[in-house]
Amino acid sequence: MAAQAGSSPDVDQVAVFDCQSCGACCAYAADWPRFSTEDDAELERIPEALVAADLSGIRFENGRCAALRGEVGKATACGIYDARPHVCHACMPGDPECLTARAAHGLAMR
């Protein structure tokens, strides 16, 4: 989230990252992204081949979400962006989970 003019120094120091040159949070935890509040119509938009065997979320393989395209830290995209799970919508650049994932991949923290 971009800092606003006239905001406090602390807010001005909040990092702003470009998700399309990152992808770290999509390649961090084996149980991510899980399904949560999706309805049946939303789940049906996700290709079956990308769904985990236990139906808990998107399949995680080779250290990353199976829907992630590209190279983490360079250029990435979500292959099912319009149909991505609800938890993916909640991930915001600069939030604690973002910073944890970026740190795990050795990416810049600000």
| Residues binding ligand SF4 (CB under 6 A) | 17, 19, 22-26, 33, 58, 65, 67-68, 78, 80, 84-85, 88, 91, 93, 98, 101-102
Distance in Å, CB of 21 to ligand SF4, minimum: 8
11 vs 108, which CB is nearer to ligand SF4? 108
End-to-end CA separation in angstroms for the chain: 12
DSSP for residue 30 = T
Distance in Å, CB of 3 to ligand SF4, minimum: 16
**Rounded distance between C-alpha atoms, residue 24 and residue 103, angstroms:** 9
Element (H, E) at 43: helix 40-44
